[in-house]
Structures are given as C-alpha cells and as structure tokens.
Structure 1
Amino acid sequence: MPGFVFVVVIAVVALVLLALLFSFIPVGLWITAYFSGVKIGLFTLVGMRFRRVIPSRIVNPLIKATKAGLDIGVDKLEAHYLAGGNVNTVVDALIAAQRANIELPFERAAAIDLAGRSVLEAVQVSVNPKVIETPKVAAVAKDGIEVMVKARVTVRANIERLVGGAGEETIIARVGEGIVTTVGSAGSHKKVLENPDDISKNVLDKGLDAGTAFEILSIDIADVDVGRNIGAQLQTDQAEADKRIAQAKAEERRAMAVAKEQEMKAEVQSMRAKVIEAEAQVPLALSKALNEGKLGVMDYYNMKNILADTDMRNAISRVPKSDSNEEKKDK
C-alpha cells in the first residue's frame, strides 16, 4: 500500500512538471507552425520566452506572411516587437500592399508603425482615397461681403512621406488659407457665387500637399453661403470711433475753456480785492492830507461835489430806455 501511494505521488509530480514544461515550451505553437510551412526551431521559441517575447505574437503573423508569399525573418519581427511595434498590423499592411501592387518594404512599414501612424490604414487610404471635409471658412471679398465656403478634399496617402509628413490638420489649414486668398482677391462676392470652381483651381495650383503625408487628388466646393456685410460694419465702427474721438476732443476743449474761465474769474476777484483794499486807503490818505495841510477844506468839498455829480450821472445812465421814451411821449 505505501508503495502504491509513492507511485501515485511520483506520477502526479511528473504530470505537474510535464504541464509546466509544456506551458513554458510552446510545443503546440511549434506544431502549428511546422504544418503551416513555417520553419522555426523549438529552441527559438524557448529563447523568445527568455527574451520576454510572447511567441504567438511572432509566430501567428509569420504564418500569415508565409501563406501570403512574403519572406520575413523571425529576427525582424521579434526586433520590431521588442521596439514596441505592432507586428500583426505591420504584417497585415505588407499583405495588403502586396495585393495592391504597392511597394512597401518591411523597414518602411516598421518605421511608420513605430512613428505612431497606422500603416495598415495608410495602405487602405492609398488604395481607397479618403475625403476630408473642412469646416466653414469665412472670407471677405473686395466689395466687403463675407462669403462662407465649405470644401471636401479627396486625398490619398503618400507612404513615402508618412514618416515626418504633416497630417490632416495641415491639409485643412492650407485649404482654408487658399480659400481665404481666392475669395479675398475676388472683386465681388457675386463672382465667387457664380464660379465656385475657381476656388478649387486656385487652391490646387498652390501645391498644398507639399511636405504632408497625403496627395491631394481633388478639392470640391460643397457649400457657399453669403454672410455679413463686413465692409459696412467696418465703416460703421470707424464712424463710431471717429465720433467718440471728436466727442473726447470737444470735451477736452470745454474743460480747457472752463478752466480758463475759472482762472479769469480768480484774477477778477483778485483785482477787486486789490481795488477794495485801495479804496479803504483813500479816507486815511485824505485825513492825512488834511492834517498835513496838503488838502484844504474847499478842495475836499469840491471833490465831494464831483463825486456826487458822477453818481448822479451814473444813476441817470442806468434808467431803462423804455421808461425814458414813455416820459417823452407823456410830455
């Protein structure tokens, strides 16, 4: 009985070790590759385990490439995987490029994938061009009328310029710039409405796809709308600004006039104060002259008579003319 238990334990341990061995050594994956025509050694798969590479991520794409007639080495796929690339996407892109007669070496496809672009999508866009729709671009013609244009840009991926080439945002920005330039050079907004195809021709002639990852095939004007009268609005704003400037200058002149008036009033008050002060000195001067004998009593009375006569004449001059005319009529 103890011998039987010992045999069972040995069998269980052997099964566990065998299961661990087969889980570490992908024998099933090696058999699949062998019958798929992919020649890869079992020790190569074990080496992938030690290099922390998932063997299925390499073998399955390699099987697809072999069935498609592509000659790709295991080392290249493994190196691309270790660099952080998507091996399966790269192989799919290479197969699609081969079917479409597009020249795409593995190194270029790997570089595109590592650059963060979808190489498979690039091949698909090369075969089936993509339509990019721009937002409404507002431009002003020479007559001051705003024109809003929406365009559809048909592009095809340029695989040779995918690495380092500008993306869709640059295409949209350049097309918008071309629309603004074309509409701005038009003499009237009516001309733009009559011939919207002029926009497409002028924009295409500018070679807007230079330095981008795309090749522009066509630019079609989808919609043209008439917006605001920008010229009239600018003139109105200018007139309002001129009005405010004139008001500000008038207010400045009024403030200067008020200040000048206040200054003159202050001078008049000062002069009046000096006159009153001088008049207050007259009695003292007369008294001093009388005491010193420089002024006689008769001279003083003559001066008083002259002053009284002067006051009388002033009073007569202040009588209203209407009253004097009525007196004459009564007489």
Structure 2
Amino acid sequence: MGLDPIVSVLILAVVVIIVLSVFLSFFPIMLWISALASGVRIGIITLVAMRLRRVVPSRIVNPLIKATKAGLGLNINQLESHFLAGGNVDRVVNALIAAQRANIPLIFERAAAIDLAGRDVLQAVQMSVNPRVIETPIVAAVAKDGIEVKVKARVTVRANIDRLVGGAGEETIIARVGEGIVTTVGSANSHKDVLENPDMISRTVLGKGLDAGTAFEILSIDIADVDVGKNIGAHLQTEQAEADKKIAQAKAEERRAMAVAQEQENKAKVVEMKARVVESESQVPLAMAEALKSGKIGVMDYMNLKNIEADTQMRSSISKPDTSPDGKHD
C-alpha cells in the first residue's frame, strides 16, 4: 500500500531540512556571504577548516569584519591564532579600534600580549583616554610632636600601555602613596604644619616617582581629607610611666623581701648567741668546782664571788621598773 502524497511531501521536507541544517553547520553560507558583503575575502573552505579545528567561525569573522571596516589591516590567521591561544578576539579588536580613534599607538601583537597576560586591554585603552581616580583608604601617620594625623587621598592615574605587561597594579600604587603620606607626615615638626599645608603631602609624594614599574602613570594626587587622631606621644609616655612605676614597685618589693629575710637571719643569730651564752654559763659551776678541787681558789674566794653575784642581782632588780599594779615590790 503506497504512502499518502501529503505524508511523502512532509517526510521529504523534514529530510531536506535535516540535510540542510547539517550542511549549513559545516558550511556557514550566511556568514560567508556577510563577510563578502563587508569586503572581507575569505573562502568557504577556510570556514569549514575552522569547524574542523573546533573554532567557532563567527568569533573570528565578525571581529575581522569590524577590523576591516575600521581599516586595521588584520588577517584571519592573526585572529584565529589568538583565539586558539585562549584570547578574547573581539575585545582585542575593539581595543585596537578605540586606540586608533584616540590616536594611541597600539599594534595587534602588543594588544594580544596584554590580553593573554590577563589584563583588560579595552579597559586599558579607555583609561588612557579617560583617566581613573583611585581613592586610598585612610592612612594614619604620626608627626614629630606625637599627634596622629589621618589622611585620605585621591590618585588620578591613566594606563601606561607600554608597561601593562609585567607592570604592577593598583594595589602597588595605593601602597606607595600610603608610604609617601606616612613619610611626609612623619617628617613634619608639628601636625599643625600638615593641617595648614596639606599640599605638602601631594608635592612630596609626586616627587618620589611612585608610578615607576607600574602599569599606570600618576597624573595628580589630591588630599581629600585630613583629620587629627590620637595623641600617640602622650599615650606612649603614659605607658612608659606605668611601666617604670611597675618596675619601681617590683624593685621596692624585692628590697622589702630582702630586709625581711635579713631581719629573720639576725633574729636567728641572736637566738644562736643566747644559746651559746647559756651553754657557757652552764660550764661555770663545773669550772668553779674544778678550781676548788685543784686549790686554785679558796672557800673565802668562792664566798666573795657569791656575794658579788648576789649584790649584782639585787642592783639589777632595783634598776628594773616597777610592773606590779600597786607599785610595790613583792
């Protein structure tokens, strides 16, 4: 049983559409026609070869059309090699067109190198035409009189295309400007000098050539704000005085401890001496007995010695103050 003519036509149409889609995916006829209409001479085989090299033809042909219309004189091999290297072809072409309009000398090789280095070459060209203002964070510095000064600056820079590859970025500019601010304020005799003449910071910082080795050229440095901070000198002196006080207290405590130790040592010596006296006194009766036995002293001598001893004790008791409640001796 034959197919319905309408069904056959529909099947044929679907097959034709599929074949045509596959054909156009490998043979971008419309892109080729657009290139020819724009004056870009490119073969259809070249576009097919791009497909085989996994290159999207539109990402090469469309920038090439823009470059040709702008009169840049680029060829398809330059753009395709940059694309295969991982670059952004459209951005590079736009940067070249912008540089040409602004009379900035920029060749394709340098623009491609800047793009492959990870920098936005189009933004760099735009910054060369329209300088950018970088605002630094608040930088705190201390003048010679010990007063803290807080400074905020605005740095106007433009891109230096010749130093974009290998040049330092914005962070370096901010760090160098901050260093210049600290140096200028620190060399001022008084914080009042900085408050009266804030432009001295700008002149000093600009004179240091802070843009050397960076991807930017500093056009001006403007002081946006100057404030007075803490009295760092007085704070440091207070801390030093407190530290000296603690040291003096520690030394005094050390001397007191040494005095207490010396006192205890003297008391121990007194006790030791008293013990020796008692020990010596205990030897007296033995010595007296030995003297009597050996005949070195007589009985009368011994009695006279006892009388002298009794008389001495009596005199000692009389010389002592009266400690009884009624003031009488027992």
User: SS of 1:142's equivalent?
Assistant: coil
Q: Point out where structure 2 has 5 or more consecutive residues left out of the alignment.
A: 323-330
Measured in 1, the distance between the counterparts of 2:273 and 2:306 equals 25
**Where does residue 35 of structure 1 map in the other structure?**
37
Amino acid paired to 2:166? G
**Where does residue 169 of structure 1 map in the other structure?**
171
User: SS of 1:21's equivalent?
Assistant: helix
Shift of 1:155: 0.6
Measured in 1, the distance between the counterparts of 2:156 and 2:95 equals 22
Shift of 1:102: 0.4
Amino acid paired to 1:247? Q
The size of the alignment, in residue pairs, is 320
User: SS of 1:206's equivalent?
Assistant: coil
Task: Write out per-residue CA displacement over residues 224-262 of structure 1, whole angstroms, 9 at most, x where no aligned residue.
Answer: 111112222222222222222222222222222222222
> Which 10-residue stretch deviates more, 110-119 or 9-18?
9-18
Matches within 5 A, 1:269-284: 269-284=271-286
Match of 1:303 among 302, 305, 329: 305
Match of 1:155 among 150, 154, 157: 157
Cα pair distance change 1:267/1:14, threshold 3 Å:
same
Measured in 2, the distance between the counterparts of 1:282 and 1:49 equals 131
Match of 1:267 among 266, 269, 284: 269
Amino acid paired to 2:194? V
Task: Write out per-residue CA displacement over residues 83-111 of structure 1, whole angstroms, 9 at most, x where no aligned residue.
Answer: 21111111111111111010111111111
Matches within 5 A, 1:216-235: 216-235=218-237
> Which 10-residue stretch deviates more, 194-203 or 45-54?
45-54
> Which 10-residue stretch deviates more, 75-84 or 272-281?
272-281
Cα pair distance change 1:12/1:131, threshold 3 Å:
closer
Cα pair distance change 1:78/1:302, threshold 3 Å:
farther
Amino acid paired to 1:256? M
Give RMSD over aligned pairs: 2.5
> Which 10-residue stretch deviates more, 46-55 or 106-115?
46-55
Amino acid paired to 2:149? V
Cα pair distance change 1:52/1:276, threshold 3 Å:
farther
> Which 10-residue stretch deviates more, 14-23 or 27-36?
14-23
**Where does residue 62 of structure 2 map in the other structure?**
60
The sequence identity of aligned pairs, in percent, is: 74
**Where does residue 107 of structure 1 map in the other structure?**
109
Measured in 2, the distance between the counterparts of 1:52 and 1:292 equals 137
Task: Write out per-residue CA displacement over residues 265-315 of structure 1, whole angstroms, 9 at most, x where no aligned residue.
Answer: 222222233333333444444455555655554444333322222222323
Cα pair distance change 1:15/1:131, threshold 3 Å:
closer
Measured in 2, the distance between the counterparts of 1:268 and 1:223 equals 77
Measured in 1, the distance between the counterparts of 2:62 and 2:305 equals 137
Cα pair distance change 1:304/1:52, threshold 3 Å:
farther
**Where does residue 203 of structure 2 map in the other structure?**
201
So what's the TM-score if we normalise by structure 1?
0.87
